[in-house]
Amino acid sequence: MVFSSIPFLYYFLPITLLLYFITPKKHKNKVLLLSSLFFYFYGEKKYIILLLSSAIFNYIMGNIISKNKKKSLLIFTILIDFGMLFYFKYTNFFIENINTLLKTNISIMQIILPIGISFFTFQASSYVIDVYKGDIKPAKNVLEFTTYLALFPQLIAGPIVRYEDIQKEMTNRKTEWKNLEKGLTRFIIGLAKKVIIANLIGEFIIALSGIETPTILSTWLQAISYTLQIYFDFSAYSDMAIGLGLVFGFHFKENFNYPLIAKNITDFWRRWHISLSTWFKDYLYIPLGGSRNGTKKTIRNLLIVWLTTGLWHGASWNFIMWGLYFGILLILEKFILKDFLNKHKIISYIYTFIIVIISFVIFSLNETELIPFLKSMFGLNNLNISNFETIFYLKNYFIILLIAFIGSTPYVKKIYLKGKEKWKIISLVEPIFIVALLLITTAFIIDESYNPFLYFRF
C-alpha cells in the first residue's frame, strides 16, 4: 500500500485515524501497532513474520545488552540484523559476481526483497547500539518497541527514526488539534509534490528516453529530470511520513533541507536524506575514527562509509559507483577544493549542481546504459545539439520543470510565511486551498497509471 493510492487515502487512513482518536490513551499504541502491521501485511504478506521477528529479537537483545554491557552481545546482534539484510538484499548480487569472476555456475536464489528492510534494520541496529552505549534506556515492553519499529508512516521508505528521538513520545504524547492540522497539511503538500510534480517529471523522462534521435539537449534534460524526480519523490514521501507522524503526536526530524541549493557536496549531504547521512556518520564514520587519526585514515574512513552508502541503496554496481563517486568528491573537497570553492561562490554552486546531476545519472542507469549516456551528455556520440522532437517535449513539460525548480528552493515557503504574517486572509484561505489540493491530487491519482515510489526498492 502506497500513500499516493486511493485505498490508503480513503480507506486505511480515515479508519486508522478514527480508531486512534476514539481509543483511550493507554491503548493508542495498540491501535498504531495493529494498523501498522496491517499496512505492511497488505503489501508484504510473506514477510510480516520477518518484521515481527526482527522486533522481538532486537527487543530481547536490547534488554540483555542493557544488563550485561558486553561488546560480544552487541556484535552478535548486529551480525544477525545485517546478516538478514545481506541475505535478502545482496546474496544474488554476490552470486552473480562470483559466477562472472570465477566462471562458476552457482544457481541464482529465488529471493524477494522485503519492502523497507533497509530502513527497519537500520532503526533496530541503532536502538541496540544506543542501549549498549547507555544513550537510551531499553523499551518498557515488546509492544512499545514493535510499535516503534513498525510505525507505518516511516516503515517502508523512512526517514530513519532513532528510538532516542521519540522514546518519550512512545508513552507520553499529546493528541492536539494543531498537530492534526499541521500534520495533515504537511501530508497533503507532500502528496501533491509526489503525484503532481514527481510523477509528471517521471513521464517526461519516459518521453525523453523514447526519442527516436537523442540529442545533447535531450540527454541533459533527462539527467536534470532524474535529479528532480528523485528529489521530489523521496522528499515528498518524507513530508508525508513527517506529517503523519505529527498527526499521531510524533515529531520526526527533517530529512531534507533544500539540497539542490547546496554550495558544495559536503553541504549537499547535510541537506539530502539527513537521517541516512547522520546514521552513517554516527554509527560508522565516527566509530572508525572519523577524521581524528590523520589524512590516510580519514580517506580510508570516508571511502568505507561511501562504499557502504552506495551498497545500502541497492545490490548493483551503479550504486557502488554512485557511493564511491561521492566519497572521492568529498575527499577532494576536504583536502584540495575547500578553499577554492569558499572563495568562488558562483563557481561553487554551478560545480555542485552539475556534480549532483551527474550523480543521479549514475544512480538511475545500469552499468550498460551509463557510459553511452554520459558520452551523449558531453557530445562524444556525434549527437546534434537539439531537434524538433526534443523541443516539442520541452515545450510540453516546461511549466512542470519550472515549478519543480522553483519548488526545490526555500523562496516559495519564505514568501508564503511573510505573506501569512502580513495578511490574515491567507490563513483563512489556507484550509480551502489544502482541501482543493487534495481533490486535485486525487483526480491525478485516479487518472494516472504512472505512480511509483522510487525508494521502495531500497
Give the residue numbers annotated as catalytic, written as ranges: 313
How many degrees, rounded to 5, is the angle at CA 102 between CA 98 and CA 105?
A: 70
Measured CA to CA in angstroms, residue 312 lies from 19, 45, 132, 390 at distances of 36, 24, 24, 35
CA atoms within 13 A on the CB side of 438: 15
What does the alpha-carbon distance between residue 303 and residue 326 come to, in Å, rounded to a whole number? Answer: 9
The dihedral formed by the CA atoms of 277, 282, 284 and 290, expressed in degrees to the nearest 10? 100
Helix pair angle (367-377, 317-332), 10° resolution: 50
